[in-house]
Amino acid sequence: MSRPIPTGGPGSDLLERGRFSDGRTRFNVRASSVDAPESFQVYVEGNRADIVLIVSGLGTEHLHATWGEGWRSCQKAWKTWAEKAAFQVFYNGHHRGGPDAPGVVRVCNG
């Protein structure tokens, strides 16, 4: 599984958090809003209609994952990996493998 490339920069879509790949397919992670998003979605790069995963409840900490049609039947191990990779991209802008990999922590005091 490859290391994702962070997105961003001048003129970029502020809702886009980054992307990752499983070695076959590249996925983009998109927040529901710029400030205090309640959810994020993962979709196949180049096709926003092909939604892989929506994670909601970010503001309430009652997280709920909804898998897109065609992705629900994926193996549990792959879905667990994809959820973790998506969370890392959502919070850090990139996915770094391994449990001890360094990351960036964002804190909201408001």
Residue 106 lies in a domain: no
Q: Rounded to whole angstroms, what are the CA distances from 17 to 2, 5, 54, 74?
A: 17, 10, 14, 24
Q: Residue 80: pLDDT band by 50, 70, 90 thresholds?
A: very high
How far apart CA 104 and CA 88 sit, in angstroms, is 9
In a domain, 99, yes or no: no
Residue 68 in domain? yes
Count of structural domains within the chain: 1
- Say yes or no to pLDDT of 99 above 50: no
Residue 102: pLDDT band with limits 50, 70, 90 = very low
Among residues of the chain, what percentage have pLDDT more than 70?
73
Instruction: Please give the residue range of the domain that contains residue 24.
Output: 16-92
- Judged against a pLDDT cut of 50, whether residue 100 lies above it is answered with no
More confident residue, 68 or 1: 68
Q: How is the chain split among helix, strand and coil, in percent rounded to 5?
A: 15, 30, 55
Of residues 32 and 3, which shows the higher confidence score? 32
Q: What's the pLDDT score for residue 88?
A: 92
Query: Considering the domain boundaries, does residue 98 fall inside one?
Result: no
Q: Residue 101: inside a domain, yes or no?
A: no
Please give the structure tokens belonging to residue 29.
Answer: 């992670």
Mean pLDDT of 11-33: 88
Between residues 89 and 108, which one has the greater pLDDT? 89
pLDDT at 93 over 80: no
Grade residue 94 by pLDDT with cuts at 50, 70 and 90: low
